[in-house]
Amino acid sequence: MINLGKYNLLGIQIDAVDYEAAVDKIIRSAHAQQSLTVSALAVHGVMTGVLDPIHGSRLNHLDLVAPDGQPVRWALNLLHKTQLPDRVYGPTLTLRVCERAAAEGLSVYLYGSRIEVLDALKKNLCQKFPKLSIVGSQPSRFRQVSIKEKEEIAATIRASGASIVLVGLGCPRQEVWVYEYHTLLPMPLLAVGAAFDFHAGTLSQAPQQLQNAGLEWFYRLLHEPRRLWRRYLLLNPHYLWLVMQQILKLKEFPLLNSQIPVEELRYG
């Protein structure tokens, strides 16, 4: 088990952890019925915080931010000598959490995406883990919600008796959601990105060789060029340039700690 704490990557605090440590922390919080805010960030997720200091501050207030992308893991190893042997990939983390939850009698709630994706996801997860208890789900409303609606969403999740909430709203909306709802929900909230679509079977995953080489972005770009070209063709080079500056100590990247507005975005 590897848990070396948080390290500064371009002003964003990333946890140098492996799967075992991340899952253990989530499961312990679920048993204790304690709030725990979790995300797994690839390059795009890190850059959303770098380019938006307020969002960067939100990320730095999350309890556990795992290195989802290989380039994020490589940067931690180069900058801080963490020697992490693998990344903590959100979709794989999702499966490992569900496996432990099924084994230990912890229930799961699904929030986000569309009804048809949630239905397929529930079916596939229960086939893979027959003892897994999925006690409820809500699709995204794909808009900002009112304070009353936000409280209703949280009340529905609490009433379900869920031990863990998996949130699939896409980056950065899901990280905002996790940050906003953690005071209302006394359980781990996991922002798991494309895991919903991958495990529902509505989106194909890159071959393992491309994932290991840090080229999952290229595979996804080929499959969704219109939606993703800006994310990958603009942000990836920008990330590499900034990381190089941090490695060579050409620029300081203090931890982002902007004042977060009291009136939150209330994503639903």
Residue 263 scores a pLDDT above 60: no
The pLDDT-based confidence of 179 (bands split at 50, 70, 90) is very high
Ordered domains of the chain (ranges, CATH): 3-196 (3.40.50)
> Are the beta carbons of 13 and 65 closer than 8 angstroms?
yes
Residue 114 scores a pLDDT above 80: yes
Average pLDDT over residues 121-129: 97
Q: Where does residue 203 rank: exposed (0-12), middle (13-18), buried (19+ CB within 10 A)?
A: middle
Strands, sheet with 107-112, edge to edge from the N-terminal-most edge strand = 64-67, 36-41, 188-191, 164-168, 107-112, 133-138
Q: How many angstroms separate the CA atoms of 125 and 188, rounded?
A: 19
Q: How many angstroms separate the CA atoms of 229 and 94, rounded?
A: 26
Strand ranges (DSSP E) for 44-128? 64-67, 107-112
Give a three-class secondary structure readout of 194-224.
CHHHHHHCCCCCCCHHHHHCCCHHHHHHHHC
* Residues paired with residue 133 on neighbouring β-strands, in sequence order: 107
Q: How many angstroms separate the CA atoms of 107 and 160, rounded?
A: 9
Crossing angle (nearest 10°) for helices 90-104 and 19-32? 50
Q: What letter represents residue 168's amino acid? A: G
| CB crowding 237-257: b at 16 or more within 10 Å, else e | eebeebbeebeeeeeebeebe
Per cent of the chain over pLDDT 70 is 98
Which tokens belong to 260? 């977060």
pLDDT digits (tens, 9 = 90+) for 55-82: 999 999 999 999 999 999 999 999 999 9
DSSP-assigned letters across all residues of 105-145: T-EEEEEES-HHHHHHHHHHHHHH-TT-EEEEEE---SSB-
> Are the beta carbons of 183 and 35 closer than 8 angstroms?
yes
Q: Where does residue 43 rank: exposed (0-12), middle (13-18), buried (19+ CB within 10 A)?
A: buried
- Looking at per-residue confidence, does 77 or 141 come out higher? 77
Q: What is the pLDDT of residue 214?
A: 76
pLDDT digits (tens, 9 = 90+) for 23-44: 999 999 999 999 999 999 999 9
